[in-house]
Structure 1
Amino acid sequence: MTQATRKAANLSLDEGLVSDARELKINISRAAEEGIARAIKAERERLWLLENAEAIEQANVYVEKHGLPFGKYRQF
Structure 2
Amino acid sequence: MQAAEVTKSIRKPTNLSLNSALLKEAKALGINVSRSAEAGIAEAVKRHKQKQWLEDNATALASSNAYVEANGLPLARHRQF
TM over 0.5, shorter chain: yes
Q: Percent identity?
A: 47
Structure 1 length normalisation: TM-score?
0.93
Match of 1:14 among 8, 19, 22: 19
Give the Cα–Cα distance (whole angstroms) in 2 for the partners of residues 3 and 41 of structure 1.
18
- TM-score (structure 2 length as normaliser): 0.88
Q: Match for 1:36 among 38, 41, 48? A: 41
Query: How many residues are aligned here?
Result: 76
Structure 2 unpaired stretches of 5+: none
Deviating 4+ runs (over 6 angstroms): none
Q: In structure 1, list runs of 5 or more residues that go unmatched.
A: none
Q: Deviations over 1:37-69 (max 9, x none)?
A: 000000000000000000000000000000001
